[in-house]
Structure 1
Amino acid sequence: MSPEPRDDEQAELAAQADYDLKFAQIVAAMNADHDVATDDDIVGPATPALQLPTGWRVPDSGSHSLLDDQFEPPDLDDLPEEDMQLWAIVGALVGAPLWIAYLLFFDPYAGWLWWTLACLLFGAGLVMLVMRQPWSRDPDDHDDGAVL
């Protein structure tokens, strides 16, 4: 014979009451004021104080004075208006992708000549950008980038 549905409901209610009682005990233990902690209260091993690694990028305790200085970046120079190669590079590297996007979204069936010209314009911008780099660099210069 199968048990009555009423017995199942009572068993579920009793189990839920047990869970509620256990949860209430856990919350009460968390909220209890532990003014004096004894060795018996500690369940696991005590965690040591946080020790920072001693790597070369980790500041030591005396280096906080570096953070007190107020850094003011230098004024930026405007782009030179008379440098036509710079403006040709900017125009090619900005205009060619916009031209390709126009062809892609608004005129996908344009002739192959327009697609080729847009790609060649972008390539010309890249070539001009690379050609602006100095031909030779000082081999003794070990500057890896921006210096603050």
Structure 2
Amino acid sequence: MSPRSPEDGPADPEVDRVFREIVAGLRGEHDAQHGGTVNPPWPPAADQAPTPARPSHRGPTTPEGMATDHRSYEPPEEEEHFVPPPPEPLPAGDLHFWGIVVGLVVGPLLVVLSAVVPVLPPAFAGVGALLAIGGFVLLVLRQPRRRPPFDGDDGARV
């Protein structure tokens, strides 16, 4: 058996037959063989004016009946969907939590407000800076002292 090069084409006659069918379908010959109309050549000849094509709202279909055009896409019906549980309420009696919130929200807000509004005394900037630093310190202190031993899982812990 002599070796074949890619330019010689595939050695399988079934592949050749399928390829010829695909090319014939692209040229419109396949439709003419099966009773359909032949697509006119493109671009049209100089003495022929192109006929306006009617837009189709439904694309060609596959043998299984599934549309292949993006305009005929219908999303699948949803059987189940995830409904998250309601969030836990904010801790009302946890002063450590509320100190963090006030320090990290109100502190920088006071610093920016004192820079934008010039009639406020400079003490607003100092109080805001102290609140921001205090909120950050409380946040760091709230972290657990010891971590559980590493179990080989690098995934996120929620």
| TM score, norm. by length of structure 2 | 0.45
